[in-house]
Amino acid sequence: MRPEIKRAQHTIPTGASSPLRACRNVESAPLVVAEAHGQYLHDIDGTRYVDFMYGFGPLILGHAPQPVSDAIARQAANGTLFGTYCVQEVELAERIAETADHLEQLRFVCSGTEAVMSTLRLARAHTGRTGVLRFNGGYHGHFDLVQNKDEARMRDAGLDPAAMRSNVYAEYNDTGSVERAFAEHPGRIAAVVVEPIACNMSLVLPQDGFLADLRRICDREGTLLIFDEVITGFRLTYGPASELLGVAPDLTAFGKIIGGGTPVGAFGGRRDIMRLLDEEQVLQGGTLAGNPLTMAAGLATLDVLAEPGFYEELERKGALLEAAVERHRAEKGLDFHFVRTGSIFAFIFVPRSATVRRKADVAAQPVSPYTTLYAGIREAGYHLAPDIEEPMYISAATTDETLEDFAARAVELLAADPNTPVVPPA
């Protein structure tokens, strides 16, 4: 064990302030990074890694992009926290709100967890109900109302039983399970909260009609529809992914990208719901919410994202990677899912004849192919997410050469693992 890790474990539980960083789920030693630039991480020994995790998604421009670094430096020289109104906060709120019609008002917080938590409190206040319907395998933060103690990988110690009783569960991409949940809990469900594209069970895409069904059911039942876009917001298009998917929620939670690599969250939606904050019926606040440093970083990031062709170029890179993986997979006779939407991608190690549409489908995969991939690709100078159910990301800094090389190396490593599915004999 590295002395830095041993030192960290003495003071910090698991040695990390967020558990996946301990790399226990990939049976590897934690990576200790000293600096990062563009597509590269550099550890404290000077070893360089091409990054595909990008801080679990926020760093769509790559590490330390010059416009964002410059904006942070300028703002730091003029103050990092005012505790009052600041113009940057208003400007960033306006820019986000103008991306979707349902975003009539917006408020900032400091994390995606806080953003989702605030939308649920608003939904309960608006409807006068307490139940929250969520989907098995979804992740919306670590507070009680969105913890699923029935999942083997979750822990139920310390959770409030009363809060847990407010949870109602359904299956992602299964309209029938949603209908049954409403029938079993009539007049009780305040909100349906969902990642419109499920990025916390590897990467599972919504089937045609599923999100529209949620909108229809919520309208019928007087329930609010909340999209958790902490990951997908500004990742796939300039604004929420709901604009691409053609379904408007009542409230949206943002995070990650809108802070330009600094701590951030935001939530917004219809004015008649958000007004409950105006009327002080719902209490929500935070000392660091909307701080000028984060707002400056967010504005600088959105400046770049708004440039013509930005998302088209990310899509081109994503398609290049997908084609390369599929080419090498076919050459090796392997039979796994490579799932991609825009600049998000994941490997799911079940045969392509098997449908991947919900948590149980993802949970059926063997773990060892990913453990083999993570260790081997890290040895080759690449860094992936340290968990089989976390997706990976492409940034504006990722090069075509990197994508081609990674695809070849990744498939070669997977071919060496006996648990990687293979194409059955004809």
At position 29, the amino acid (one-letter code) is A
The catalytic residues are 139, 228, 256
pLDDT at 411 over 50: yes
Neighbours of 5 (CB within 10 A): 17
Helical residues (DSSP H) of 15-108, grouped into ranges = 66-77, 87-97
- In angstroms, the CA 276 to CA 192 distance is 19
DSSP string, 277-290: HHTTSS----TTTT
Rounded CA-CA distance 270/129 in Å is 18
Task: Express each pLDDT in 282-307 by its tens digit.
Answer: 888 899 999 999 999 999 999 999 99
* pLDDT tens figures, 222-268: 999 999 999 999 999 999 999 999 999 999 999 999 999 999 999 99
pLDDT, the chain, mean: 93
- pLDDT at 152 exceeding the cut of 50: no
Whether the model clears a pTM of 0.75, i.e. scores above it, the answer is yes
Spell out the alpha helix ranges (H) of 239-333.
Answer: 242-245, 271-278, 292-305, 310-332
